[in-house]
Structure 1
């Protein structure tokens, strides 16, 4: 249930990346209606409060217009003003951690399992939300199905609001269809076809990098190796609760075991070797590790293939590309298997919004979230000013009117599966795949569904390990460094810490599984 959009949008972008989504299956019958109970007192008007909200991405054009409209709507109810701080994706981990550790007053903050939410919870930075949501957040609760809440608690408590629409992220490669057709290559059906296309681009299209993927820490789900793991239907390699988007520790075979890359190297090592060959052969964008927004080289026509965290593209994506490459054309290539039971899910979401304990406005922060989960307000924060940036197409779709005025980034602060609309002009080719992602019955249940990792016992090890990982891991999963040689250096510096993390994670998993018997 990861984002299925670009993490840099983005995948948020996350991305996609993208990106990214949730499931309305199991939602209460009343969840489609808005209930403002608890958002304002029965007697006196609330004093004005400014909420400081820290979320990832770049500040969109016309953001001030959207904030002004939101504040106008809230003035006579919850009386909130918004101070929204945007943090670049590449700086997100460090910036948010430093902000929380410094005690700076923040009222709502983005976090995620692939970032450091487990560590922040273990360190006591976030406020439990069960009582606050019960009193002030009925919309927030109702707009997310019970499966989502139960699978995203920490030690039985709601420590952050899950932002998602599905039980698993979509994933794909976006390729230059115009180049494929120019080279006389038939539609791509297999991963081998994809790589053969990349080699042809290298041979016939000088000046265009065949392959682009995520190269910065925090986006490694969309690295060359990361995206391959999402299509592993042989062993079902998956990311762990301890390291988020790193495969230095990984699960496979749905067997409840934690595998260590330094000890159990397959199939991850084979994927790294394949990525290394691509890099040595000149197929990978040469500055992949320096590109903070890995989508931009592709969008500007400098790459022929890019990884993506969702199916299809959408009008906004296509138009942005066309503005840079007027004669270009795009298509989606995905190796997702939609068969019932083919995919494993623990129903975990991959984006969250938390209330820091230092916040002086916890009640008002939850009131704001409740307000934001009303349909009309959700539309405003997700899509911009109606009639200017977008227009509704029924209750479930929207049409973009201004692709440069306000970017859709609801996945970092308001996402819920009831109110989210789809792009009416978007690629409907994979609509059936998206429906699979939103149906819990389509999945094989992860043996670890409901499990949460308490990282408090290995905080020092995690800090030490993460520092070393940043030196080696992004390069390994994108082929920049030789895997066998680099893994030896990596293990020499990080092996003991990683082993202790693995052992603590396995101990907690064993206890969790024993308690279920």
Structure 2
């Protein structure tokens, strides 16, 4: 559910990540108290076999997640523990939530200082860092022993992002909607129809809509955030720096601001800005979701999940919204199949049991629903296949809405009654035509050899990137100046190091 819009995504995340939206190689056979045979009892395996007479000892799993604690977490945890005991898993769950703003700083310290951590959320950056520091455990043995339901739930395409040197270091979420190569946004369907315009399927259609909005509603912001992205060309993937992209066709890292497509993008953004389609005060931070939901903006940038948020929250009488997806590249592609993983600390004494617990979640729809939605009849009910608020309950006071995107299983994923009517279909269809996967999926760039150069380039990025993306800066001068300053800061050295590591990764594959 992540999408990058440079500076503006930071504005959204700061106000919504809030709503949300990232190995001492010990053996995976660690448990607080081993059973006499030294193996995990089969009662909680994916086969759902009959409980063993040899019960597993109770252990506590320390789970660390980003975000804020759920108000009803204790009640749901008690229900989960009861069901886990009935199913022979026998674990207690101890949750610790770290605010998003602190998570990426505090979690590494916890792991380095030996704090009690078993399961934790990781993303591509965290996972790569933790593998290099031996802070998280390889999970292949534990998955082979206790992860049959996990493996059955997740298509093989989800495993490359968590696989390093042939070993799996996380349990990936079964994400949907990760394809790139499109411009995606939410439009005001009622305005489009009012102006007699056809469905928006091309960039020309989008510009016709933008012009109609500006002509008829000059006070409106057209784009609530600049429509960044390559307008045409072969698939290229962003990397560790704004100055570098990885080209799928050539398998080479390239200087982004030397590419003709980059100048073309910048000129397009400048045109939108000069026509007034992008707000003159775009560089001033504001709540861009609120702009669209209050009727101040006519186009809300973002992916299918953002479309669903807009559909739920728009507060304009008679407003209707629709999702648009416009092809930008010769072929849609996936730079990654998932952004979210659950890893296990290398210092955990309960690696097998941690995987057994994560496997239990995927073992049945009832288990998954309890983990995801809470106590049935209290926090949720199911009606016509959708999650609904229980009769008599106050939707505003439902105290359990955890991050399903951490353990998402596409087979068990259900729409909410408040979702846009076509949200689930849009989400399930978004990746269906994608056949091109990133050749460097799962590659983690070790920045250590060029950290000085990357730091210098980052400072320059703040000077140019957002102004170019928003059309505020004249691309005829800003793009070549930016490219030249990046090279002075060491861009060529960073590209060479990235290519060296990428070539080694590709050779291993």
TM bucket normalised to smaller: 0.7 to 0.9
Please name the residue that 1:307 is paired with: 301
Please name the residue that 1:238 is paired with: 237
Per-residue displacement from partner, 1:81-117 (whole Å, max 9, x unpaired)?
23241534x766556566666765543333323x443
The reply on whether 1:158 has 2:151 as its aligned counterpart is no
Structure-2 separation of matches of 1:168 and 1:193: 24
Could you tell me which runs of 5 or more consecutive residues in structure 2 were left unpaired when the two chains were aligned: 22-44
Quickly say closer, same or farther: Cα 1:41–1:456, change in 2 above 3 A: farther
Structure-1 separation of matches of 2:52 and 2:469: 50
The reply on whether 1:109 has 2:103 as its aligned counterpart is no
Per-residue displacement from partner, 1:104-158 (whole Å, max 9, x unpaired)?
5543333323x44333432333222222323343322332123332564111111
Please name the residue that 2:346 is paired with: 357
Contact 1:3 1:351 in 2 (8 A): no
Per-residue displacement from partner, 1:249-303 (whole Å, max 9, x unpaired)?
21235221111124x2331232133224434554335665665865343234332
Quickly say closer, same or farther: Cα 1:192–1:435, change in 2 above 3 A: closer
Bigger radius of gyration: 2
Please name the residue that 1:46 is paired with: 58
The reply on whether 1:261 has 2:256 as its aligned counterpart is yes
Contact 1:4 1:15 in 2 (8 A): no
Give 1:360 deviation, angstroms. 5.7
Please name the residue that 1:181 is paired with: 193
Quickly say closer, same or farther: Cα 1:4–1:303, change in 2 above 3 A: same
Contact 1:342 1:444 in 2 (8 A): yes
Contact 1:12 1:412 in 2 (8 A): no
Per-residue displacement from partner, 1:446-488 (whole Å, max 9, x unpaired)?
5x26662351653624862574366244454344545543763
Q: Which residues of 2 match residues 101-140 of structure 1 at below 5 A?
A: 105-113=116-124, 115-140=125-150
Q: Which residues of 2 match residues 216-255 of structure 1 at below 5 A?
A: 224-225=227-228, 228-229=229-230, 234-240=233-239, 243=240, 247-255=242-250
Contact 1:152 1:162 in 2 (8 A): yes
The reply on whether 1:80 has 2:92 as its aligned counterpart is yes
Contact 2:58 2:92 in 1 (8 A): no
**Secondary structure at the residue paired with 2:190?**
helix
Please name the residue that 2:313 is paired with: 320
Structure-2 separation of matches of 1:130 and 1:102: 25
Q: Which moved more, 1:377-386 or 1:69-78?
A: 69-78
Per-residue displacement from partner, 1:148-201 (whole Å, max 9, x unpaired)?
325641111111222133484376210122233344444323223323433443
Structure-2 separation of matches of 1:293 and 1:41: 57
Give 1:494 deviation, angstroms. 7.4
Structure-2 separation of matches of 1:513 and 1:42: 47
What TM-score, normalized to structure 1? Answer: 0.73
Contact 2:179 2:334 in 1 (8 A): no
Indicate which of 151, 154, 163 corresponds to 1:144.
Answer: 154
The reply on whether 1:381 has 2:371 as its aligned counterpart is yes
Indicate which of 432, 437, 440 corresponds to 2:431.
Answer: 437
- Coordinate RMSD, CA, aligned: 4.4
Contact 1:212 1:294 in 2 (8 A): yes
Quickly say closer, same or farther: Cα 1:461–1:269, change in 2 above 3 A: farther
Per-residue displacement from partner, 1:229-258 (whole Å, max 9, x unpaired)?
4xx563223334xx2xx6532123522111
Q: Which moved more, 1:64-73 or 1:427-436?
A: 427-436
Quickly say closer, same or farther: Cα 1:366–1:293, change in 2 above 3 A: farther
Structure-2 separation of matches of 1:331 and 1:224: 17
**Secondary structure at the residue paired with 1:306?**
strand
Please name the residue that 2:494 is paired with: 501
Could you tell me which runs of 5 or more consecutive residues in structure 1 were left unpaired when the two chains were aligned: 18-32, 214-222
Equivalent pairs, count: 468
Structure-1 separation of matches of 2:251 and 2:321: 40
Structure-1 separation of matches of 2:52 and 2:466: 47
Q: Which residues of 2 match residues 440-455 of structure 1 at below 5 A?
A: 442-444=434-436, 446=438, 448=439, 452-455=443-446
Structure-1 separation of matches of 2:46 and 2:286: 39
Contact 2:443 2:505 in 1 (8 A): no
Contact 1:16 1:309 in 2 (8 A): no
**Secondary structure at the residue paired with 1:502?**
helix
Per-residue displacement from partner, 1:368-408 (whole Å, max 9, x unpaired)?
322322322222333444345543357xx424337643686
Structure-2 separation of matches of 1:15 and 1:277: 33
The reply on whether 1:329 has 2:329 as its aligned counterpart is no
Structure-2 separation of matches of 1:10 and 1:36: 42
Q: Which residues of 2 match residues 409-428 of structure 1 at below 5 A?
A: 410-422=403-415, 426-428=420-422
Give 1:46 deviation, angstroms. 0.7
Contact 1:208 1:304 in 2 (8 A): yes
**Secondary structure at the residue paired with 1:110?**
strand
Structure-1 separation of matches of 2:490 and 2:423: 45
Please name the residue that 2:29 is paired with: none
The reply on whether 1:275 has 2:269 as its aligned counterpart is yes
The reply on whether 1:400 has 2:388 as its aligned counterpart is yes
Contact 2:61 2:354 in 1 (8 A): no
The reply on whether 1:208 has 2:198 as its aligned counterpart is no
Structure-1 separation of matches of 2:114 and 2:219: 48
